[in-house]
């Protein structure tokens, strides 16, 4: 096996790739003057996100040494995303459209933070290698590109993507609850997603239906509030 082959895919490699892509995305946003361009929104997000990140560092100690980064943008394309190693980007347009209050924002951020601390990116790469072993002999950068662009591979990864979304919903609510947010208020985030969806009862092959997410969130919130 030669150096850099995908067979050797490690969390360090996934984080390095994510840091590069994150840097490129920030540069694009900076060039269009849409990076951290709303000081009030940036301050609000920072006040909600950093305590959740501190909670995640305590609960998932491997993430404590990462260089976490948080930025905001007014770019309409951006909802909320988190890349491997703790690189977060939050869009103000989406938050405005749904008029998210602080608890709902905390739920959205905790979901993203859980994708990162649960190493979902790395697990997805490992699953890709299991499904299509020919990638093991190719450079990691090619696999990284294929995971976001090769529709045949993406279809095969839909099952793991779906289970990762459900896990991020669940563990995200638990994380935010440990950080002090009320579960019932967190669950309202999913109600807003459901209401804003034109087809609440239909998911995609990689994402659960909004109505199903909302029901699961209400059930988990009730269990957490009952101390179960
Ligand atoms: Zn997600």
User: What is the pLDDT confidence band of residue 113, given thresholds at 50, 70 and 90?
Assistant: very high
127's tokens: 């699953």
Q: Does residue 3 have a pLDDT over 80?
A: no
pLDDT digits (tens, 9 = 90+) for 80-102: 999 999 999 999 999 999 999 99
CA of 111 to the centre of ligand 1 (A): 6
CA of 207 to the centre of ligand 1 (A): 8
Distant-in-sequence, close-in-space partners of 60: CB < 8 Å, separation ≥ 6? 117, 118
Secondary structure of the chain: what % helix, strand, coil (to 5)? 70, 5, 25
Mean pLDDT (whole number) for 117-142? 92
pLDDT digits (tens, 9 = 90+) for 32-78: 999 999 999 999 999 999 999 999 999 999 999 999 999 999 999 99
CA of 139 to the centre of ligand 1 (A): 27
CA of 44 to the centre of ligand 1 (A): 21
Nearest CA-CA partner of 176 in 42, 49, 41, 62? 49
Q: Provide the whole-model pTM.
A: 0.93
> Of residues 8 and 141, which shows the higher confidence score?
141
What is the DSSP pairing of strand 87-91 with strand 80-83? Answer: antiparallel
CA of 112 to the centre of ligand 1 (A): 6
Mean pLDDT (whole number) for 179-207? 91
The residue ranges of every structural domain in the chain are 6-161
């Amino acid at each position: 096996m030669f150096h850099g082959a995908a067979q050797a895919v490690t969390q360090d490699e996934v984080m390095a790739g994510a840091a590069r892509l994150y840097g490129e995305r920030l540069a694009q946003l900076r060039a269009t003057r849409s990076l951290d361009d709303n000081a009030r929104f940036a301050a609000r997000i920072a006040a909600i996100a950093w305590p959740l990140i501190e909670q995640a560092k305590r609960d998932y100690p491997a993430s404590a040494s990462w260089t976490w980064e948080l930025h905001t943008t007014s770019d309409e394309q951006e909802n909320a995303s988190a890349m491997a190693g703790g690189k977060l980007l939050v869009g103000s347009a989406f938050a405005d459209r749904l008029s998210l209050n602080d608890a709902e924002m905390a739920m959205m951020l905790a979901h993203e933070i859980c994708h990162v601390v649960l190493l979902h990116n790395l697990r997805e790469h490992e699953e890709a290698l299991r499904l299509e072993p020919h990638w093991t002999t190719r450079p990691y950068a090619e696999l990284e590109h294929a995971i976001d662009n090769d529709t045949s591979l993406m279809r095969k990864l839909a099952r793991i993507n779906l289970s990762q979304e459900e896990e991020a919903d669940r563990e995200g609510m638990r994380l935010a609850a440990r950080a002090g947010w009320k579960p019932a208020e967190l669950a309202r985030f999913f109600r807003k997603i459901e209401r804003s969806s034109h087809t609440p009862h239909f998911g995609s092959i990689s994402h659960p239906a909004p109505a199903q997410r909302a029901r699961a969130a209400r059930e988990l919130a009730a269990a957490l509030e009952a101390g179960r």
